Amino acid sequence: MALPPEHRTPRIEMLEAIVANTPRDRLIDFPLLQPSDHLMVGVFIQTYNYMDFNLRRAIETFACAKLLPSKAAKKYPKIHSAEVAGIVQESVRAMDSAVEDIPDTIQILTIIERRREIRNLLSHWAARRIPNEDAIVLLSKDENDAMQVGGAYLANGHVKSAVLDLADIRTLIDNQLVPIEQWLGKKISDWNRRYIGDQGPIAAVSTGSKSLASSLQNSPQQSKRVFCCTGS
C-alpha cells in the first residue's frame, strides 16, 4: 500500500508532538471521530472509488481502441489496482497532441495518484481525534506499513502513527478531489466517443471548466502540509 511522504510544518510538528508526548497506551483514549468526521472520511474514500471506477472505464476504452501500452495489453483485463493510473497515463502520453490536452491530463492524473496515498491512510488506519484540535491521529500495527515508512518493523507494544489536519483535508476534497472526479467522468465519456464511437452506459457529469488543470495549479498547495507519519 502506497503511503504519503512526510510534510513537516510548524502545525504538523505541533500535532505530532501531542501524539509523541502521549503514552502509547493512552492514544486509544483520544476522542472518537465525530459524525462529521466520518462523513468527511466517507466522502474522501467514495470520491476515490468513483475515480478508480472511471480509470478502469478508461482502460476498457483503450483496450477496445487498441491504445493500451503493449505490456498492459498483454495483462488486460487482469490489471492490478496499483497499476491502473500509471497505465492510463502511459496511454495518454502516446495520444495525438493535436487532439488531446496531454499535459493537462497527465497533471490531473498525477494529482489523483498523489492524493491516493492519503486515501490509503483513511481507508486502512484506525483514527482518533487529537484532543482540542481539528485534527486526527491514525494508528496502525501493520508491519509492512511500518517498514515502508520508517525502514524498520515495529517493536513489541509500539504502533505507527500519522497526523492529518482536518481543515486541509476538507479543502482538498472541495478544491481538488470533487472537481477532478467530475472532470474524469466526463473525460472518459469523451474518450469513448472519440475512440470507439460510444459514450458508454454511464453518463458523465461535466464541471463546466475549460481548464481544470490550470485552476488546480493555482489552488493552495495543501498537499505540502497535511501529513506526518511517526513511530511510537
Tell me whether residue 163 is in a domain: yes
The residue ranking higher by pLDDT, 13 or 3, is 13
Q: What is the pLDDT of residues 171-209, one digit of tens each?
A: 999 999 999 999 999 999 999 999 998 655 554 444 344
Cross-strand bridge partners of residue 165? 135
Q: Taking the CA atoms of 153, 224, 106 and 64 in sequence, report the sign of the dihedral they define.
A: positive
Contact 138, 117 (CB under 8 A): no
Tell me whether residue 147 is in a domain: yes
In the prediction, which pLDDT does 5 show? 53
- pLDDT of 225 > 70? The answer is no
C-alpha 213/C-alpha 3 separation (Å) is 24
Set of cell numbers at residue 99: 487532439
Crossing angle of the two packed helices 102-124 and 35-64, in degrees rounded to 10: 140
- pLDDT of 57 > 90? The answer is yes
C-alpha 102/C-alpha 66 separation (Å) is 18
Count of domains forming the chain: 1
In the prediction, which pLDDT does 177 show? 95
- Residue 140 per-residue DSSP state: E
Is the model's pTM score more than 0.75? yes
In the prediction, which pLDDT does 61 show? 95
Q: What's the domain range around 201?
A: 35-231
Select the highest-mean-pLDDT range: 115-119, 150-154, 223-227: 115-119
Tell me whether residue 225 is in a domain: yes
Contact 45, 123 (CB under 8 A): yes
Mapped onto helix, strand or coil, the DSSP state of residue 126 is strand
Set of cell numbers at residue 135: 485534527
Q: What is the pLDDT of residues 120-166, one digit of tens each?
A: 899 999 999 999 999 999 998 887 776 666 667 667 777 888 899 99
Tell me whether residue 8 is in a domain: no
Tell me whether residue 91 is in a domain: yes
Set of cell numbers at residue 203: 453518463
Average pLDDT of span 77-92? 93
